[in-house]
Amino acid sequence: MLHIINKSPFDTNALDSCLRMAQPGQAVLLIEDAVYAATQGSALTERMRQAAAKVSLFVLQPDLDARGMGTKVQDGITPVDYAGFVDLVEKYPTSQSWL
C-alpha cells in the first residue's frame, strides 16, 4: 500500500491516522501541504524518524521547493519528483489518499 498524504500535519490529523494504520513494508508519500512533515527541526521530526523504521517515507520535491523548504528535508525521507510519484504508484498495488 502506498499512503498519500496532502494536508499539513499541523492542520489535520491525517498523517497521524495514516501512521497508526500503516503496516510494515508499506510506503508513505507526502505531497502538497503535507511536505512540511518532512522538514528538519520541527515538532514532528522524532515521530517521522520513528515512522521511517516501519515504512518507507517519500516527499514530493516540487511541493517542497514551491514552499521554500527544498533544502530542509529530514534524513530518512526520500525526495521524489512527479516521475518518482508515478513509479511509487506503479510499485505498490494499491494507493490510499488520506484526505
Partner 1 sequence: MSEQATTAASGPKVKKFMFVNRKAPYGTIYALESLEVVLITATFDQDVSLVFMDDGVYQLVKGQQTKGIGIKNFSPSYRALEGYDIEKLYVDRASLDQRGLSEADLLVPVEVLDDQQMGELMAQQDVVLSF
Partner 2 sequence: MKFGILVNEGPYTHQASDSAYQFVVAALAKGHTIQRVFFYHDGVNNATRLTEPPQDDRHIVNRWSALAAEHKLDLVVCVAAALRRGIKDEVLAPGFRISGLGQLVDSGIKADRLVTFGD
Long-range contacts, stretch 80-83, CB < 8 angstroms, 24+ apart = 80/29
65 belongs to the binding site for partner 2 (CB under 8 A): no
Is 71 a residue that touches partner 1 (CB under 8 A)?
Answer: no
Backbone angles phi, psi at 45, to 5 degrees: -55, -45
CB of 13 to partner 1, least distance (A): 6
Residue 58, H or E segment? strand 56-60
- List residues binding partner 1 (CB under 8 A): 1, 13-14, 17, 20-23, 26, 93-99
- List residues binding partner 2 (CB under 8 A): 4, 6-7, 31-33, 62, 81-83, 85-87, 89-90, 93-95, 97, 99
